[in-house]
A and B are shown apart, each in its own frame.
Chain A
């Protein structure tokens, strides 16, 4: 069908971005490693398995931390947590954003005004400040971080979807539906929604990248995922101690580099997707 040809075209255009292809492969490997962490991690991430702060060796490929836990195992579990927080927060904020954006754009009028004013309100508060305040009000922890990031990051999606709905509504095929007396539900879910999925998907990759960065920042500041559970941010927290920073690079550099690699790969993939899905090119 026509749909299949479309997919092929998108894949072909995506493949042209070599950096994005490499990034996608890297991400897939990292996701598999994160999922398989309980199977492949050499040690229990929360149990002492060696000497204190030992540099990398054959027993502990990335050394051990201040209380003798294996850094490689901790890093694998941390990546699992960070990817999970990023993905879950992205799903929540995208769902909220899509629902509010659809309602706002499709119903219009008072509903539109109210939703858009709420969007403006949330967007007026500096993002990280809102997240920090929420983290202070609620008990910090894995699920509160997911919910906080999810509930704070939807306005961008909502605006994007609303804009899309407004422009699609002016298209002739929607006008034809309305003229033919199609039910509103059909127009909204079978005609408008599928046509806004591509830009939402591209935007969601950005949200995913930002959520990973925010989780890292929050946990680094001690307001996110709480120890002993490892996250990429709270591993880096150790580097605030000057001895760790100056002479125990294996305790902080790998976690930081991993965050950068994950986030930049997601950004590259998102950018290539935007290019591949853009109908105007």
Chain B
């Protein structure tokens, strides 16, 4: 097993390096920091001096190493628009994104796990078909359309919930206020998470329910409740753990749209703003961060899997 874990880490290193190369290439090809200097009052030689100062006259691979050195010391460059360091922009917005994503994942799984198990136990009955159909509906609704429907119903018609931001403007924003602002964005994200995961949990559960050890447990007559909740659930949770790892990039993508819809002040919103204003250092900083997080999340799920599941043989 240790050999497998080491091998897995070794495989992740070139991927990590590749991610930084892709990230740097897109950033440097997309827009030169000199472009905004162009104008009638600036001479060619002034631009050349500036280019030399920024190291832009060096070959691209040397520029990449310079950039990488900076990244390793925690410097992701500066925003073209606000001149703030990218790390501090990310730092001040990551909290609200994590709050949104974490709550949505939790709510989504709290719906999906019982629903998936229920569906698997009642396989091929009406209840099962209803749940599976609902889960397909959850994955088929575009999040922005669901957000529009929610805003129409709960903000415009009923006036129950605020539709933008994280706190009511002009107030300090107590706990209840934040919760009220969170209900709609969390619901939109949770619907798509639940939609995907109901079917994953269902099929994982179905697979476990067919195993011999469950037949034995049933034959021993320990009761349906114990069979399902103790013996089956534990083993079905294993594939579900991997699925949670896979959800992270999906969640982040969803957050970009949902944060935009509800003006939630998180990473997704600043990324979207950066994209519309072509603020490449910010865009690529966020890309790099999320890619590394996803890579680490996959690595950790694989390692947990290797530790928890003794039946899998690793070469």
Contacts and interface: CB of A to CB of B under 8 A. Distances in A.
Contact of B14 (A117, A233, A236, A252): A117
Interface stretch (A31-39, A87-95, A171-179, A213-221): A213-221
A126 B15 contact: no
Contacts of A117: 11, 14-15, 18
A29 interface: no
Given A246-B156, A256-B142, A268 B15 contact: no
Nearest to A246: B156
Interface string B128-164: 0000010011011111110011011000100000000
A129 B15 contact: no
Contact of B19 (A124, A233, A259, A260): A124
Contacts of B29: 137
A271 B292 CA distance: 33
B179 interface: no
Nearest to B296: A124
A221 B26 CA distance: 21
A245 interface: yes
Given A132-B275, A137-B30, A256-B145, A126 B140 contact: no
Contacts of B284: 133
Given A136-B30, A137-B29, A256-B145, A125 B249 contact: yes
A121 interface: yes
Interface string B264-291: 0000000110011010000110110011
Interface string A98-133: 000000000000000000011011011111111011
B307 to A, nearest CB: 21
A209 interface: yes
A67 interface: no
B148 A264 contact: no
Nearest to B29: A137
Nearest to A255: B145
Interface stretch (B41-49, B216-224, B251-259): B251-259
Nearest to B22: A121
B199 to A, nearest CB: 9
Nearest to A216: B142
Contact of A217 (B137, B257, B294): B257
Contact of B287 (A118, A125, A264): A125
Interface residues of B, number: 48
- For chain B, what secondary structure do more than half of its interface residues adopt (helix, strand, loop), or is it mixed? helix
Contact of A267 (B139, B271, B287, B290): B139
Given A124-B294, A125-B249, A125-B291, A220 B151 contact: no
B60 interface: no
Contact of B142 (A245, A259, A267): A259
B295 interface: yes
B15 A121 contact: yes
Nearest to B13: A117
Most buried by B among A123, A132, A259, A271: A132
B259 to A, nearest CB: 12
A123 B248 CA distance: 11
Contacts of B140: 209, 213, 260, 263-264, 267
Interface string A130-144: 101100110000000
A239 interface: yes
A49 B283 CA distance: 42
B139 A221 contact: no
A121 B148 contact: no
* For the complex of A and B, 5 pairs with smallest distance between CB atoms: A128-B253, A264-B140, A256-B145, A263-B140, A126-B249
Interface of A: 19, 117-118, 120-121, 123-130, 132-133, 136-137, 209, 213, 216-217, 220-223, 233, 236, 239, 242, 245-246, 252, 256, 259-260, 263-264, 267-268, 271
